[in-house]
Amino acid sequence: MQGGTVVRSAPYTAVIIGSKCPGDETLSSIRRAERLVLQSHVRTLDCTARYRAPPHSSQLPGPTLRAYSVKKDVIQTRPASSGTLLNSFCGTGPFPPPALREQSAGLSKALSAEYTRAVRQVEGNLRRQAGRINEAATRLNHQKEKLEKLLRSVRTALLVNKKTTEERTRRPATETEKDEADFLLCHEKKGLNELKWNLDVLLKETLTQIQTLTQSSRWLLDCAFERSRVIELLPQKGPPSASVHPSISPLSLEPDPSGPFTPECKEVLESSAAVLQTSKLHSRRIEQVMCDVIKKQAALHQSVNEGLLQKIAQTQSLQQRLTMSSAATRQAIYRKKRQMQCASYSHGRALGPVSSGDLFCRERINRPIVQVYERHPTFQLPETRLLAQGKAMLKHHLEREEKTVGELQDVHLQLEDDFCVKRESARVDSAALRLRRMNTSHIFV
């Protein structure tokens, strides 16, 4: 071959002279030589000119850079062998280009940079998830403090209920019978004990949830630290080619123990997501329970206060009625005493003077006119009979009035005693109500 021309052998006519085998071998060798020369000439025409490519050429094969596996719907692009990768460098040339070393170094650097970027993305997701877990734990800690505060208020309400019950036992003996206020206090105590039990259970669940969040955050940070240690073994700088930027998020890949997204990372992320969702639901439940507890506690406290107020109002109303009855009884006693004085005076007048010497002549039974008239057997003066009847009637009236006055005095004393009892009962109930109102600021916080 000279000057781009191909030397071909002249045609000939096959003439068999002598033995056939040596000629066949010669012809086969000639044909083989012609075929090889033709193939060499074609490859020389198709081959590109020799040149030195830059170290970071944009001709680097992009698909071969993703060396880790993806999901089933993503094609595996790891090169099957080093020969295939070498052919991608050589293009259509018969031999590798002179810049093979620089291109190989650039490809390795691009692969490591892409792997580093993916690992950093996984680490960032782990740390962001740990941050969300920490925020949820902080929110639960604040709610735990509110729960403890509310639980202290419920315990204070129970203590106030106990003191109120003890205070009402100081009422007089006649007022110790169970009334509506006592039933309201018992109902409040039962409701507060139920609220206290619910808050205790919820507080224990909150502490358990906080511990779970703390453990999940620790696992996330451990996985992130492990990923950061992987990054320390890889180059930290050097911009890769524009064609090596990953188009698929590492979190969408199948977990690979040797890849950026390991099965441990996937397990920790899934468990943390479940814990975070549970924490959100628990936080909403805490808010709802706290609102219900505050409303129910306020309703119980208000019902007892209203019951005590109603009891005090009833007692004061009875005090007023007792005062009016006592005044009317005292007025009746004074009236009866005046009547008794009049009857006693009339009875004394009917009896006459103590000494018979003090009688006037006209008042004597044996005066002359009476003696003259009594001589007639069919005639008798009514003076003696009337005086005897009048004295008897006045005596009976005095005895009856004395008995009535005694009864009125007994009733008056009973009314006074009842008034004192009611006044003491109202004082005790007022003290109990004042105690509850003084502790309202410690209950509702």
Q: Please provide the size of the chain in residues.
A: 445
Which region among 58-62, 295-299, 369-373, 408-412 has the lowest average model confidence (pLDDT)?
58-62
Q: Residue 59: phi, psi to the nearest 5?
A: -85, 5
Model pTM score: 0.65
Secondary structure of residue 98 in the 3-state scheme: coil
What 3-state class would DSSP assign to 5? Answer: strand
213-244 per-residue burial string, b: 16 or more CB within 10 A, e: under 16: beebbebbbebbeebeebbeeeeeeeebbeeb
Phi and psi of 252, rounded to 5°? -90, 0
Q: Over the Cα atoms of the chain, what is R_g?
A: 61
pLDDT of residue 135 exceeding 90 = yes
Say what the pLDDT of residue 76 is.
40
Looking at residue 102, its pLDDT comes to: 85
What confidence score (pLDDT) does residue 71 get? 41
Mean pLDDT value across residues 44-73: 42
* Per-residue pLDDT reduced to its tens digit, 152-208: 999 999 999 999 999 999 999 888 888 999 999 999 999 999 999 999 999 999 999
Q: Give yes or no for residue 6 having a pLDDT over 50.
A: no
Give Cα separations from 154 to 25, 67, 161, 199, 302 (angstroms). Answer: 113, 63, 10, 9, 14
pLDDT reading at 54 higher than 50: no
Q: Reply yes or no on whether the pLDDT at 246 is more than 60.
A: no
Query: The tokens 């509110």 sit on which residue?
Result: 146
What is the rounded CA–CA span in Å between residue 258 and residue 304? 69
pLDDT of residue 307: 95
- Are 351 and 406 in contact, with CB atoms under 8 Å apart? no
Query: What digits encode the pLDDT tens for the residues 352-410?
Result: 666 666 666 666 777 776 777 767 666 666 777 787 888 888 888 888 989 999 999 99
pLDDT of residue 421: 94
- Listing DSSP states for 358-399 in one string gives G--GGG-TT-HHHHHHTTSTT---SHHHHHHHHHHHHHHHHH
Angstrom CA distances, 321 to 123, 318, 334, 372, 421, stand at 84, 5, 20, 66, 14
| pLDDT score of 242 | 41
* Mean pLDDT of all residues in 257-279: 89
Mean per-residue pLDDT of the chain: 79
Asked whether the predicted pLDDT for residue 339 surpasses 70, the reply is yes
- Is residue 272 within 8 A of residue 213, CB to CB? The reply is no
Query: How confident is residue 283, by pLDDT bands cut at 50, 70 and 90?
Result: very high
Comparing 104-108, 167-171, 252-256, 334-338, which segment has the lowest mean pLDDT?
252-256
Per-residue pLDDT at 343: 84
- Write the DSSP string, 288-348: HHHHHHHHHHHHHHHHHHHHHHHHHHHHHHHHHHHHHHHHHHHHHHHHHHHHHHHHHHHHH
pLDDT band at 340 (very low <50, low <70, confident <90, very high): confident
